[in-house]
Amino acid sequence: MVEMKSTITWTGDMAFTGTTPSGHELRMDAAPEVGGQNSGPRPTELLLYSLAGCTGIDIVMILKKMRLELTGFAMEVEGARADTEPKKFTDFHIHYSVEGDLTEDKVVRAIQLSKDKYCSVSHSLSANIVASYSINGVKGNQVL
């Protein structure tokens, strides 16, 4: 079992600062309307960002193992949250825009492997995750 540990310290109002297990300092804060100072991202924003980053890293690694070369890669991630407390995420949609000399079947395979097998962030969530993609600006036909 791999364990990760971080200490996060309250720094006043609604702000917290900590150092990640890899040694990077991170600050989180709340919006001014709930007592924060907007001095850092919200924890829910970081969750959205983490999901995209986790799958993105997987996809790059998988495509490299397939000996495919990316010339561009961007992700747009959206999260839908429940209206009632605890206002958890209920759905995520990630659109992957990849560029390079790529085949659709291999891009789809890389996305599916990340989504279904490798991304530890997505497997830690109970929300529905939907993925779509475009290759060199052409939207793919499959919703994953």
Q: What are phi and psi for residue 119, nearest 5 degrees?
A: -70, 110
Residue reference for tokens 């709340």? 30
Q: Name the residue among 70, 57, 72 with its Cα closest to residue 119.
A: 57
Token representation of residue 29: 């804060």
What are 48-67's pLDDT values in tens digits?
999 999 999 999 999 999 99
Look up the pTM and report it: 0.90
What are 67-122's pLDDT values in tens digits?
999 999 999 999 999 999 999 999 999 999 999 999 999 999 999 999 999 999 99
Token representation of residue 23: 């040694």
What are 4-28's pLDDT values in tens digits?
999 999 999 999 999 999 999 999 9
Q: What are phi and psi for residue 101, nearest 5 degrees?
A: -85, 85
d(CA 141, CA 43): 33
| β-bridge mates for residue 79, sequence order | 92
Residue reference for tokens 């492997």? 113
Token representation of residue 129: 């995750």
d(CA 72, CA 84): 39
Question: What was the pLDDT predicted at 1?
Answer: 84
Beta carbons of 102 and 70 less than 8 angstroms apart: yes
Question: What was the pLDDT predicted at 40?
Answer: 97
Three-state secondary-structure class, residue 102: coil
Q: Name the residue among 120, 59, 61, 66 with its Cα closest to residue 95.
A: 59
